[in-house]
Amino acid sequence: MSPTVEASDDLAGWIAPGRTAVLIIDMQVDFASPNGALGGFIDMSVVEPALSAAEKLVADARAAGVPVVFVGLSTTAETDSPAWNERMRRRGGDPDVDAALCRAGQVGSEFYGPKPLSGELVVHKTRYSGFVGTDLDIQLTKLGVDTLVVAGLTTECCVDGTVRDAFNLDYHVFVAADACGAYEADIHEASLKVMALNSAILTDTAAIASAWKGAA
């Protein structure tokens, strides 16, 4: 895997409570559960370690007083992208069937693994990035946040898209690599490498927990 940041005094300062929020991206039934839309043809056991690591990350953040923000896909037929649908058609898919992921109000859009508590910020999106068409940047600014620890699914898609936009908005971005997952190991590793090269610093949940130890 790409180099990770070890627990250190520097990391503790970089991700200190008061300046940092945790983003949990798209850990939802359709993307992570065997009973979700993708579970019929993808072995979801491949993302179970990321779900478990994200649950620990969320618990550690709450204990340290770090806000946790849940970002999830929530779609309707009206919000489906014409570009997405046309790309799917050109690849031989049926947008009326294949595009219906994480429909608003349906079980598939519910969070799976770590779940928000009452009062925690939940941001619903309709595109890959958590910043496109949402008020995520505004909400983070209200929290006084300039640093993000990001986890979620899938590494190469919505995690990567959100991380790139966060960096372009001048956030300091750390990716909890073990709390991210993809359906193919080589894609996961390649995506982590690209993010490390261009837009984020990689770390892991153990290093984060050590950095936050005693912060509460």
Task: List the chain pLDDT tens, one digit each, 216 residues.
Answer: 455 665 566 899 999 999 999 999 999 999 999 999 999 999 999 999 999 999 999 999 999 999 999 999 999 989 998 998 898 889 888 877 666 899 999 999 999 999 999 999 999 999 999 999 999 999 999 999 999 999 999 999 999 999 999 999 999 999 999 999 999 999 999 999 999 999 999 999 999 999 999 776
Query: Residues 92, 93, 95, 101: is their CA dihedral positive or negative?
Result: negative
Q: At what angle do helices 185-198 and 160-168 cross, to 10 degrees?
A: 0
Is the Cβ–Cβ distance between 174 and 191 less than 8 Å? no
28: left (phi over 0), alpha (psi -120 to 50) or beta: beta
Determine whether 26 is an active site residue.
Answer: yes
DSSP-based three-state secondary structure for 16? coil
Active-site pick, 30, 60, 102, 125: 125
Report domain 9-211's class.
alpha beta
Report DSSP letters for 69-136, one per residue.
EEEEE-B-TTTS-HHHHHHHHHTT--HHHHT--SBTTSGGGSB-SS-PPTTSEEEEESSSSTTTTSSH
CA end-to-end distance (rounded Å), the chain: 31
pTM, rounded to two decimals: 0.94
Q: Is 180 a catalytic residue?
A: no
Q: What gap in Å lies between CA 121 and CA 134, rounded to an integer?
A: 12
Handedness of CA 165, 162, 123, 140 (dihedral sign): negative
**pLDDT given at position 92:** 86
The catalytic position among 102, 157, 158, 180 is 158
Sequence-distant (6+) residues with CB within 8 A of 88 are 94, 95, 98, 99
* CA-CA-CA-CA dihedral for 203, 207, 213, 216, to nearest 10: 20
**Distance in angstroms (rounded) separating the CA atoms of residues 105 and 110:** 8
158 included as an active-site residue: yes
Return the structure tokens found at 69.
Answer: 């923000």
